[in-house]
Structure 1
Amino acid sequence: MLISVYVPLAVTAVLTLLAPGVARRLAPRPAAWALACTALVTTVGWTGSLVLLAFTGIAQIPQVAAEGRWSVPALRAEDPVYLAVAVVSALVLVAGFVSLVLAAVRQARHLLWARRECARMPGGSELTVVDDDTPQAFALPGAPGRIVVSRGMLRCLDGEEREALLAHERAHLRGRHHVFQTLWRLAAALNPLLRPLADAGGFALERWADEDAAAQVGSRRVVARAVGRAALASSSRASSTPALAVTGGAVPQRVRALLAPPPPRRTFPIAGGALLLTLCCAGLANAASDSDQMLDDAQRAQCAASITHASVAPRSGGFHHGPDGCCEHRVRGVRGERHG
């Protein structure tokens, strides 16, 4: 446990530094899936390691030890974690879970707002054109999702660019990109180290939609032109633009990628990331096994101490093992015994 419990934390730090840069060199769709898997596995590993570290300190509280029927001195003797580390881990866990709850509430409100807006949109078609001179276009996830475009945005684009814009937003809905965003935001709320990974994931989603739009329109240059013009037109309102929008992400880098050939599929970075994630899971499993063994040893020590204490106690009787495997002392009082 001394080393393995820190492996998930180290893997999380390494992937946080490397994954965003590597993901930008991959094809966007596998990059988004790889970042989603990375966020999920590292969040579980990060949380599990902090729980194990915090529990080594909590388990030494006398009331907790009494409930668990283990020996505090034995646990303290085998515990490889400093008390300060356990306390810090517990505080980080509490702060992370509070942040996670707040982020989950915000995400739930956002999804409910999207569903209400979809229900309020006139007509039953996928596309809704609003009478607004402000250039904006975005996808509203829902059941079904809707594409919202203002007349101001349509006036900024020609026919081919409009088709590219709609194909981009349609790709967001078809790929259910809001689910990816929710996962990254919740993971980053629980573990602030994953915020760069969440930002890289948002860029991968926009690139994913760009590539799908280019395949549907048949021209990468048209999609690049549509992305650039839409971003320039809506630049004054960039802060209020919804996340699933053609103007999201680093627009210059997206345009540059669209003007270049399609990105090749690379398997080596994904294989390397999968190896690190496997190491993260193995480290957490080994730390959990060591922690369980440590508690078993502390329970046996408590059992042995109970036997020793009872053997020297006056008028002590026999012993028996309870259903949970822990030794229990049973005093056999003899009532009504006659002595000759």
Structure 2
Amino acid sequence: MIYMVWVPLLVPFLAGPAGRRLVSCLPPRQSAWLLTLTAAGLAVSSTAALALLVVPGATHVHAVAALGELLTPLSTGSPDAVVAVAMAAAVLLLWCAAALARRLHMRGAQLRRARRLAACADGELVVLKDDSPDAYALPGRPGKVVVTSGMLRALSAAEREALFAHERAHLTGRHHRFLTVVELAGLCHPGLRTLREPLSYALERSADETAARAVGDRRLAARAVGRAALAARATRSPGAGRPGFALAATTGPVPRRVAALLSGGAPTRGRRRTSHVIAAALLACLLLSAAAALEAADDLHSGIESAQGESPRD
């Protein structure tokens, strides 16, 4: 356990660089799923590893040893070092729990305020009287497409339809859930925070492709995204009134997205090969992290049996 338990804590630092390469090669919808599942799995494994580091040090406390019916504390090294590591891991676990609770509370409050705003309008479209150009997808039951009067004036009728199709794609795809999972995973391990940017790009690219199919014109979709982004960025505080969890067509590397729309969006043969290699590497990281956590847990269980005076199982 002393070595395997560290693997889930180190592997997440490899996910960020791989994720940035992945979204350039793999289709956006597949990229979004793979990044989200990888983030969730690595977060669970790293959190489990922290919990496993707490247990050996906790057995040096007489009350814990008595509760577990241990004859001796788990011997995994110097007692002082084991207790120090356990205390550090416990502090990190408590910090993660507090951060998760705080983020979920904040997200719930934002969503309730946004739903109250959307409740005042009938239908799917909510038009805000605001000269600052903005448009975003507001998840809920039902979801809403929110657009300001400033954005409506900045686009032609055809471009508006493309923009609305983009935001509808965020709603029907439940894209806010993908972002929420990765944000929460980033609170569990700092190495996973770097996955938010490539995931956001993949989700926007997925909505771009859906909008292009909906209007039947990739150039129109590219023009709508580009003009909406230029209009939004011309204001002093773009997206100031937008909830933090809302996805918008004007965010992310817009020139890169526009270029992908104009190029047809299909990856080259070389990129497909690269995407398969990177996807396999991410899955390998996920499996390695999970296997290491399980192996460490199994070793810990055997150590507890030995400390209880039982014969460890094979």
Contact 2:159 2:220 in 1 (8 A): yes
Taking the aligned partners of 1:118 and 1:56, their CA distance within structure 2 comes to 52
**DSSP-derived class of the 1:72 partner:** coil
The equivalent of 2:130 in structure 1 is 132
Out of 258, 263, 282, the residue aligned to residue 260 of structure 1 is 263
Query: Structure 1 stretch 212-221 or stretch 237-246: which is displaced more?
Result: 237-246
Out of 263, 288, 291, the residue aligned to residue 279 of structure 1 is 288
Deviations 1:222-247, CA, capped at 9 Å, x for gaps: 11211111111111232514431111
Taking the aligned partners of 1:45 and 1:77, their CA distance within structure 2 comes to 21
Taking the aligned partners of 2:24 and 2:85, their CA distance within structure 1 comes to 36
Does the C-alpha gap of structure 1 residues 6 and 129 become closer, same or farther in structure 2, counting only changes over 3 Å?
Answer: same
Query: Structure 1 stretch 6-15 or stretch 239-248: which is displaced more?
Result: 239-248
Taking the aligned partners of 2:89 and 2:37, their CA distance within structure 1 comes to 24
Deviations 1:258-300, CA, capped at 9 Å, x for gaps: 2222133644432332222112111111111100110010001
The equivalent of 1:249 in structure 2 is 252
Structure 2 segments unaligned to the other structure (5+ residues): none
Taking the aligned partners of 2:148 and 2:13, their CA distance within structure 1 comes to 42
The Cα of 1:79 is off from its aligned counterpart by 7.9
The Cα of 1:159 is off from its aligned counterpart by 2.3
Taking the aligned partners of 1:294 and 1:134, their CA distance within structure 2 comes to 63
Does the C-alpha gap of structure 1 residues 162 and 290 become closer, same or farther in structure 2, counting only changes over 3 Å?
Answer: same
Taking the aligned partners of 1:293 and 1:151, their CA distance within structure 2 comes to 65
Does the C-alpha gap of structure 1 residues 17 and 57 become closer, same or farther in structure 2, counting only changes over 3 Å?
Answer: farther
Taking the aligned partners of 1:133 and 1:263, their CA distance within structure 2 comes to 37
The Cα of 1:78 is off from its aligned counterpart by 6.8
Matches within 5 A, 1:8-27: 8-27=8-27
Matches within 5 A, 1:142-157: 142-157=140-155
The equivalent of 1:313 in structure 2 is none
The Cα of 1:163 is off from its aligned counterpart by 1.4
Taking the aligned partners of 1:273 and 1:183, their CA distance within structure 2 comes to 17
When the two chains are superposed, the root-mean-square deviation of aligned CA atoms in Å is 2.1
Query: Across the two proteins, how many residue pairs are aligned to each other?
Result: 299
Taking the aligned partners of 1:19 and 1:136, their CA distance within structure 2 comes to 28
Matched, 1:196 2:194: yes
**DSSP-derived class of the 2:146 partner:** strand
Matches within 5 A, 1:214-229: 214-229=212-227
Contact 2:22 2:279 in 1 (8 A): no
The Cα of 1:46 is off from its aligned counterpart by 0.6
Matches within 5 A, 1:62-77: 62-73=62-73, 75-76=74-75
- Larger RCO (alpha carbons 8 Å, 6+ apart): 2
Q: TM-score, normalised by structure 1?
A: 0.82
Contact 1:78 1:294 in 2 (8 A): no
Out of 150, 161, 164, the residue aligned to residue 163 of structure 1 is 161
The equivalent of 1:172 in structure 2 is 170
**DSSP-derived class of the 1:276 partner:** helix
Contact 1:23 1:200 in 2 (8 A): yes
Taking the aligned partners of 2:106 and 2:113, their CA distance within structure 1 comes to 10
**DSSP-derived class of the 2:309 partner:** helix
Structure 1 segments unaligned to the other structure (5+ residues): 304-340
Query: Structure 1 stretch 151-160 or stretch 19-28: which is displaced more?
Result: 19-28
Choose 1 or 2 for highest CA Rg.
Answer: 1
Query: Structure 1 stretch 151-160 or stretch 27-36: which is displaced more?
Result: 151-160
The Cα of 1:193 is off from its aligned counterpart by 2.0
The Cα of 1:184 is off from its aligned counterpart by 1.5
The Cα of 1:77 is off from its aligned counterpart by 5.8
Taking the aligned partners of 1:10 and 1:24, their CA distance within structure 2 comes to 25
Out of 258, 282, 300, the residue aligned to residue 291 of structure 1 is 300
The equivalent of 2:85 in structure 1 is 85
Contact 1:24 1:31 in 2 (8 A): no
Q: TM-score, normalised by structure 2?
A: 0.88
Taking the aligned partners of 1:99 and 1:77, their CA distance within structure 2 comes to 30
Deviations 1:8-45, CA, capped at 9 Å, x for gaps: 12221211332233233321111110111011100100
Query: Structure 1 stretch 50-59 or stretch 20-29: which is displaced more?
Result: 20-29
**DSSP-derived class of the 1:29 partner:** helix
The equivalent of 1:183 in structure 2 is 181
